[in-house]
Structure 1
Amino acid sequence: MPTPLNLEALRSAPKVLLHDHLDGGLRPQTVIELADACGHQGLPTTDPVALGEWFRDNANSGSLVRYLEGFAHTCGVMQDEEALVRVAAEAVEDLAADGVVYAEIRYAPELFTDKGLSLEQAVEAVQEGFRKGEEAAGRTIRVGTLLCAMRQNDGWQRIADLVVRYREAGVVGFDIAGPEAGFPASRELSAFEYLRQQSAHFTIHAAEAAGVESAWEAVQLAGAERLGHGVRLAEDVRGDELGPLAAYVRDRRIALEMCPTSNVHTGAVASLAEHPIKRMHELGFRVTVNTDNRLMSQVSLSGELATAVEHFGFGWEDVRAFTTNAAKAAFITHEERGALIRNVINPAFDELGG
Structure 2
Amino acid sequence: MEDFFYRVPKIELHCHLDGSITPKVIRKMYDLSSTPLNLTDEELKRKVSAPKKYQNLTEYLSCFPMVTAVLNTRTALKLALMDLMDQASKENVLYQEIRFSPKYLSSDGLSMEEVIESLVQAKSEIEDNYSISIGLIACCMRGHSEETNLEVVRLAKKYQKFGLVGIDLAGNEIKYPTKEYKKIFSYAETVGLSYTIHAGETGNIENVHYAIEFGAKRIGHGVALAKDRSMMKLAEEKEILLEMCPVCNIQTGASEDWGNYPTTLFDEMGVKYCFNTDNRTVSNTTMTREFTEIDKNKQKMSESEVKNQTLLAVDYLFITEAEKKNLRERIRTFYI
Q: Scaled by the length of structure 2, what TM-score is found?
A: 0.94
For residue 263 of structure 1, what is the aligned residue in structure 2? Answer: 249
Cα shift at 1:291 = 0.2
Alignment partner of 1:73 is 2:60 = no
Alignment partner of 1:13 is 2:5 = no
Length, aligned pairs only: 333
AA matched with 2:170 = A
In structure 2, C-alpha distance between the alignment counterparts of 1:57 and 1:291, rounded to whole Å: 13
In structure 2, C-alpha distance between the alignment counterparts of 1:115 and 1:63, rounded to whole Å: 32
SS at 2:255 equivalent: coil
For residue 36 of structure 1, what is the aligned residue in structure 2? Answer: 31
The 5 Å alignment of 1:84-99 reads 84-99=77-92
SS at 1:112 equivalent: coil
In structure 1, C-alpha distance between the alignment counterparts of 2:197 and 2:249, rounded to whole Å: 16
In structure 1, C-alpha distance between the alignment counterparts of 2:9 and 2:125, rounded to whole Å: 21
For residue 327 of structure 2, what is the aligned residue in structure 1? Answer: 340
SS at 1:182 equivalent: coil
In structure 2, C-alpha distance between the alignment counterparts of 1:169 and 1:250, rounded to whole Å: 33
In structure 1, C-alpha distance between the alignment counterparts of 2:19 and 2:218, rounded to whole Å: 20
For residue 139 of structure 2, what is the aligned residue in structure 1? Answer: 148
In structure 2, C-alpha distance between the alignment counterparts of 1:202 and 1:46, rounded to whole Å: 40
For residue 181 of structure 1, what is the aligned residue in structure 2? Answer: 174
Cα shift at 1:163 = 1.2
Alignment partner of 1:294 is 2:277 = no
Cα shift at 1:56 = 2.8
Farther off after superposition, 120-129 or 103-112: 120-129
Alignment partner of 1:248 is 2:234 = yes
Is the contact between residue 18 and residue 257 of structure 1 (CA under 8 Å) also seen in structure 2? yes
% of aligned pairs identical? 29
Is the contact between residue 19 and residue 291 of structure 1 (CA under 8 Å) also seen in structure 2? yes
For residue 289 of structure 2, what is the aligned residue in structure 1? Answer: 303
For residue 45 of structure 1, what is the aligned residue in structure 2? Answer: 39
Alignment partner of 1:225 is 2:217 = yes
Q: Scaled by the length of structure 1, what TM-score is found?
A: 0.89
Gaps of 5+ in 2: none
Gaps of 5+ in 1: 1-5, 237-241
In structure 1, C-alpha distance between the alignment counterparts of 2:238 and 2:38, rounded to whole Å: 46
In structure 1, C-alpha distance between the alignment counterparts of 2:124 and 2:268, rounded to whole Å: 38
The 5 Å alignment of 1:177-216 reads 177-216=170-209
Cα shift at 1:50 = 4.5
Is the contact between residue 81 and residue 122 of structure 2 (CA under 8 Å) also seen in structure 1? yes
Cα gap change, 1:340 to 1:314, in 2 (>3 Å): same
Cα shift at 1:215 = 0.3
AA matched with 1:7 = E
Please give the per-residue CA displacement for 1:282-315, whole angstroms capped at 9, x wherever unaligned.
4322110000000000001111111111121121
In structure 1, C-alpha distance between the alignment counterparts of 2:84 and 2:49, rounded to whole Å: 18
